[in-house]
Amino acid sequence: MGRKFKLLRLSFGNCCQHCGTKENLEFAHKEPTGLDGKGRGSYARFKDICRNKDKYLLLCKDCHLKYDNGGKANG
């Protein structure tokens, strides 16, 4: 993961916003986009997250899956 994304994760607390783990963190859209996430680590995505922090969550992989599949995550 690039330095800019590490700093961005720090600005979100550097832990899952649902369960608190610091492992396997991913940015999740609060509103569904229909996109699959492959290749989503680009500079354009970084800029979008920086400009629209209120539209994203920092979640671990497990909570992200639960969030996307049911609208909420355990934690």
pLDDT tens digits for 2-35? 888 899 999 999 999 999 999 999 999 998 766 5
Classify each residue of 6-40 as buried b or exposed e, where b means 16 or more C-beta atoms within 10 Å of its C-beta. eebbeebeebbbbeeeeeebbbbbeeeeeeeeeee
Task: Return the DSSP state at 4.
Answer: H
Residue 46: per-residue pLDDT: 87
Higher pLDDT: 32 or 66? It is 66
Residue 1: per-residue pLDDT: 60
Residue 2: per-residue pLDDT: 83
SS3 (DSSP) at 7 = helix
- Would the pTM count as exceeding 0.75? yes
What is the DSSP pairing of strand 56-60 with strand 25-29? Answer: antiparallel
